[in-house]
Amino acid sequence: AANKTLLVLPGDGIGPEVMREVSRVIDWMERRRAVSFRIEEGLVGGAAIDAVGTPCPDETVAKARAADAVLFGSVGGPKWDSLPFDQRPELGILRLRKDLGLFANLRPALVMEPLVEASSLKADIVRGVDIMVVRETVGGVYFGEPRGVETLPDGKRRGFDTDVYHEDEIARVARVAFDLARKRRGKVTSVEKANVMQSGRLWRAVVGEVHKAEYADVQLENMYADNCAMQLCSRPKQFDVILGNNLFGDVLSDLAAALTGSLGMLPSATLGAVDSTSGKRYALYEPIHGSAPDIAGRGIANPCAQILSFAMLLRWSFGMEEDAKLVEAAVEKVLAGGLRTADIMQPGMARVGTSVMGEAVVREL
Amino acid sequence: AANKTLLVLPGDGIGPEVMREVSRVIDWMERRRAVSFRIEEGLVGGAAIDAVGTPCPDETVAKARAADAVLFGSVGGPKWDSLPFDQRPELGILRLRKDLGLFANLRPALVMEPLVEASSLKADIVRGVDIMVVRETVGGVYFGEPRGVETLPDGKRRGFDTDVYHEDEIARVARVAFDLARKRRGKVTSVEKANVMQSGRLWRAVVGEVHKAEYADVQLENMYADNCAMQLCSRPKQFDVILGNNLFGDVLSDLAAALTGSLGMLPSATLGAVDSTSGKRYALYEPIHGSAPDIAGRGIANPCAQILSFAMLLRWSFGMEEDAKLVEAAVEKVLAGGLRTADIMQPGMARVGTSVMGEAVVREL
Ligand SMILES: CC(C)[C@H](C(=O)O)[C@@H](O)C(=O)O
Ligand SMILES: CC(C)[C@H](C(=O)O)[C@@H](O)C(=O)O
């Protein structure tokens, strides 16, 4: 991986402090595994607004394009809440997804055995849960036009958004879901409101066509989004891969993550298309959790999701499977050893802060 | 209530069989409480498609307008799944909501003490949960125009919907939520994706304005929909009233219902505006659960949600508070006595079918 470039974007809130723990892991790798890749840093979100006046500077986008992978922290916080819509920190991540064509967001919701009791759900309901949510991330209501808040002749306001999907956008993310299902337990649950929405009707039709033509060996189930929320809460083990549009994928992946009880543990990857000439695939890795402004700067955030995002990056973008596994195993061992940050604290365990957790992971390595 | 008219619309799936148990309750009332109201019946959903070729016949809408309240069962099932979009059974309920202006759907998610263990969540997480979801039901992406699936010049399809809210639509449903909160624990959590959607931005602004001008005594909290799904799953007791648009309200109210573990127990009401001259308010009452085609006709469905929907109707539309309480108390006693339908079955309880449950409620009365 000597010629690979990694762009690190810490962002806001707990982003910088959990990213610091990733640096320790990288240091260890360089020292002990004779690995070397180039590391760039960049500005994004509120931090970028404060420094250069915009949440996603062109320079950051250019660096992201030039890099082989992006490791993203998190963005947003009350400090920037009153900014106009088109200057909000969230544009940091939204523009990166859009400009790099990162259309498939992979969000594993995995219940690790040492953390079964951290869930708000009963142990027998969540033990062994292993769900992968595949969320479309460059289309739908997040970007559809027209959109806006307009003032009508009588002075009243009207706000509107367009939820729109082209069949090719649906087909390509469906393929990602089906491909993953093949390597997992062979089942895709595709989620929409085809009983209410036209884009949902097309979604169901296209997913069905791709399934029939290319993935007849995978089991496909269609489910309404409301029912899926219910089923995730009551019987999560029925799911393998869940496929959803940008908005349903957002809500349902957060729900799937929450039911593991260990949000601070969960990484995610957002992938673009493979370039047919260069073979390059843009990819961004980020924890599922947000910037958590309420605990930022207190040194108590859980760095594991960020560290595991880095492991995902090693595997998917740098082809360093062995190193990825080392990092993942180290995190599991630290948990099995009884260390817990506040978010996953349980009776009888040792409560530690961000840096003790990060150091422990390096020690296990 | 002698001059009140009740329109009963059993619909599809388990609708007719659970509605039969409501008839027993009504019979009892007429015999023992000297109550009499006129009961009309009507067709809706797949049953209406089969009988007269349309999911919501004009006659049904006319009857609903003429009635003082509508008791609705449920609609839909695989039999009608391949019908064109504009002929699907769901239009039964969608058209009734729209034509009668039933804009505020009230969905209580209440954990009854005898059913604490029925939840997939840990007892200490759900014990005492008492949430009221207020969902807007005549606007947003459910009805917004333009919408459709179009074929582009190159033969590819594109599906689109419009999520649109006028500020008056937001304000009136917000008032329902704030009014309810005043009679409850004084807190409203308003849910949107104001960080991503323009209609969500307007939603947050208008709810804030109504709050400031008219309900400063109520606590208002704004929460993103993805975070709300998470919080419902991990710490449901933080919520009192949750306010959401048509789509978020749909998904989050189902989630809130699911976490009680007793979907077959939960009623809902959908209310229109009070007519300023007649004082009349259109209202429709229905269980939260759907038509459950998989168990329809087997006599095992839980009739309690339908019976409790009737109790809500007595209270809200007919002003029969005492009778409503009698019915609710009877249901609770039957549960406390150990009877359970399959959906809420627990070790040590007696498993019964639909009609035994219904009879038991009448016996308790
Ligand atoms: C920050 C926000 C715009 C974003 C989203 O809604 O996509 C976040 O919730 C996420 O899921 O990554
Ligand atoms: C049947 C369907 C159209 C309906 C909806 O989405 O509103 C249902 O899910 C509900 O919540 O009442």
Residue A95 clears pLDDT 60, i.e. is over it: yes
Are the beta carbons of B215 and B177 closer than 8 angstroms? no
Q: What backbone phi and psi angles, to 5 degrees, belong to B223?
A: -145, 140
Residue among A62, A69, A65 at smallest CA distance from A3: A69
Token pair of A178 as six digits = 């089906």
Residue among A66, A91, A271 at smallest CA distance from A172: A271
Q: Report which residue type is found at A97.
A: R
Q: Does B198 touch chain A (CB under 8 A)?
A: yes
Residue A78 clears pLDDT 70, i.e. is over it: yes
Q: What is the distance between the alpha carbons of residues A185 and A218, in angstroms, rounded to a whole number? A: 9
Are the beta carbons of A292 and A14 closer than 8 angstroms? yes
B226: annotated active-site residue: yes
Residue A81 clears pLDDT 90, i.e. is over it: no
Ligand whose nearest atom lies closest to the CA of A96 = 1
Are the beta carbons of B7 and B73 closer than 8 angstroms? no
Cα separations in angstroms, A259 against A87, A230, B3, B98, B223: 33, 12, 50, 35, 19
Q: Report which residue type is found at A8.
A: V
Q: Is A69 marked as binding a ligand?
A: no
Q: Which residues pair with A159 in a beta bridge?
A: A149, B165
Q: Which residues pair with A42 in a beta bridge?
A: none
Q: Report which residue type is found at B145.
A: E
Structure confidence at residue B2 (pLDDT): 60
User: Where do the domains of chain A lie, and which CATH numbers do they carry?
Assistant: 1-103+269-365 (3.40.718.10), 120-260 (3.40.718.10)
Residues A154-167: pLDDT tens digits?
999 999 999 999 99
Cα separations in angstroms, B364 against B34, B90, B190, B317: 18, 35, 39, 24
Chain B CB contacts of A163 under 8 Å are 141, 160-163
B267-274/B104-110 β-pairing: antiparallel
Token pair of A71 as six digits = 């490791």
Are the beta carbons of B105 and B268 closer than 8 angstroms? yes
The residue annotated as part of the active site, out of B12, B68, B163, B250, is: B250
Confidence class of residue B3 from pLDDT cuts 50, 70 and 90?
confident
Percent of chain A with pLDDT over 90: 91
Average pLDDT over residues B144-152: 98
Q: Report which residue type is found at B108.
A: P
Q: What is the distance between the alpha carbons of residues B34 and B28, in angstroms, rounded to a whole number? A: 9
Who has greater pLDDT, A181 or B113? A181
Structure confidence at residue A2 (pLDDT): 60
Shortest Cα distance, chain B CAs vs residue A364, angstroms: 30
Average pLDDT over residues A227-247: 98
Q: What backbone phi and psi angles, to 5 degrees, belong to A95?
A: -70, -40
Q: Is B51 exposed, middle or buried (0-12, 13-18, 19+ CB in 10 A)?
A: exposed
Structure confidence at residue A35 (pLDDT): 79
Residue B256 clears pLDDT 90, i.e. is over it: yes
Q: Please give the interface size between A and B, counted as residue pairs whose CB atoms are below 8 Å apart.
A: 187
Token pair of B271 as six digits = 């209310």
Residues A275-292: pLDDT tens digits?
888 888 999 999 999 999
Residue among A1, A21, A2, A24 at smallest CA distance from A10: A21
Residues B263-278: pLDDT tens digits?
899 999 999 998 888 8
Structure confidence at residue A68 (pLDDT): 95
Residue B1 clears pLDDT 80, i.e. is over it: no
Percent of chain B with pLDDT over 70: 99
Q: Does A83 touch chain B (CB under 8 A)?
A: no
Confidence class of residue B37 from pLDDT cuts 50, 70 and 90?
confident
Mean pLDDT for all residues in chain A: 95
Token pair of A145 as six digits = 């036009």
Residue B159 clears pLDDT 90, i.e. is over it: yes
Q: Does B183 touch chain A (CB under 8 A)?
A: no
Q: Is B37 marked as binding a ligand?
A: no
Q: How many CB atoms lie within 10 A of CB B170?
A: 28
Q: Does A61 touch chain B (CB under 8 A)?
A: no
Mean pLDDT for all residues in chain B: 95
Q: What backbone phi and psi angles, to 5 degrees, belong to B360?
A: -60, -40
Q: What is the distance between the alpha carbons of residues A256 and A222, in angstroms, rounded to a whole number? A: 17
Q: What backbone phi and psi angles, to 5 degrees, belong to B163?
A: -100, 110
Which own/partner contact pairs does B172-177 have at CB distance under 8 Å and 24+ positions apart? B172/B103, B172/B104, B172/B273, B173/B103, B173/B104, B173/B134, B173/B136, B173/B243, B174/B206, B174/B207, B174/B210, B174/B211, B174/B243, B175/B210, B175/B214, B175/B215, B176/B104, B176/B106, B176/B134, B176/B271, B177/B134, B177/B241, B177/B243
Residue B348 clears pLDDT 60, i.e. is over it: yes
Are the beta carbons of A51 and A43 closer than 8 angstroms? yes
For residue B199, report the distance from its CA to the centre of ligand 1, in Å.
16
Chain B CB contacts of A76 under 8 Å are 195
Residue A145 clears pLDDT 80, i.e. is over it: yes
Residues B292-323: pLDDT tens digits?
999 999 999 999 999 999 999 999 999 999 99
Residue among A6, A72, A118 at smallest CA distance from A288: A72
Q: What is the distance between the alpha carbons of residues B65 and B50, in angstroms, rounded to a whole number? A: 23
Are the beta carbons of B171 and A133 closer than 8 angstroms? no
Q: Does B259 touch chain A (CB under 8 A)?
A: yes
Are the beta carbons of A270 and A70 closer than 8 angstroms? no
Are the beta carbons of B262 and B112 closer than 8 angstroms? yes
**CB-ligand 2 contact for B250 (6 Å cutoff):** yes
Q: Does A122 touch chain B (CB under 8 A)?
A: yes
Shortest Cα distance, chain B CAs vs residue A277, angstroms: 25
Shortest Cα distance, chain B CAs vs residue A246, angstroms: 11
**Coil vs helix vs strand at B155:** coil
Structure confidence at residue A334 (pLDDT): 96
Q: How many CB atoms lie within 10 A of CB B24?
A: 17
DSSP letters for B297-330: TTT-S--HHHHHHHHHHHHHTT--HHHHHHHHHH
Residues A313-359: pLDDT tens digits?
999 999 999 999 999 999 999 999 999 999 999 889 999 999 999 99
Exposed e or buried b for every residue in B330-358, given b needs 16+ CB within 10 A? bbbbbbeeebbbebbeeeebeebbbebbb
Are the beta carbons of A208 and A220 closer than 8 angstroms? yes
Q: What is the distance between the alpha carbons of residues B286 and B70, in angstroms, rounded to a whole number? A: 9
Confidence class of residue B160 from pLDDT cuts 50, 70 and 90?
very high
Ligand whose nearest atom lies closest to the CA of B93 = 2
Residue A104 clears pLDDT 90, i.e. is over it: yes
Q: What is the distance between the alpha carbons of residues B32 and B14, in angstroms, rounded to a whole number? A: 28
Who has greater pLDDT, A81 or A215? A215
DSSP letters for B33-102: S----EEEE---HHHHHHHHSSSS-HHHHHHHHHSSEEEEEE---GGGTTS-GGG-TTHHHHHHHHHTT-
Structure confidence at residue B32 (pLDDT): 83
Percent of chain A with pLDDT over 70: 99
Looking at chain B, which residue has its C-alpha nearest residue A82? Answer: B195
Query: Which residues, other chains included, contact B244 with Cβ-Cβ below 8 Å and sequence gap of 6+?
Result: B133, B134, B135, B136, B190, B191, B192, B225, B228, B252, B253
- Are B234 and A261 a contacting pair at CB < 8 A? yes
Looking at chain A, which residue has its C-alpha nearest residue B229? Answer: A255
- Are A159 and B250 a contacting pair at CB < 8 A? no
Structure confidence at residue B192 (pLDDT): 98
Q: Is A107 marked as binding a ligand?
A: yes
Residue B35 clears pLDDT 90, i.e. is over it: no
Structure confidence at residue A85 (pLDDT): 87
Q: What is the distance between the alpha carbons of residues A164 and A141, in angstroms, rounded to a whole number? A: 6
- Are A230 and B255 a contacting pair at CB < 8 A? yes
Task: Provide residues with CB under 6 Å of ligand 1.
Answer: A 76, 90, 93-94, 250; B 195-196, 226
Structure confidence at residue A36 (pLDDT): 82
Tokens 């762009």 correspond to what residue? A7
Q: Which residues pair with A8 in a beta bridge?
A: A41, A71
Chain B CB contacts of A158 under 8 Å are 164-167, 202
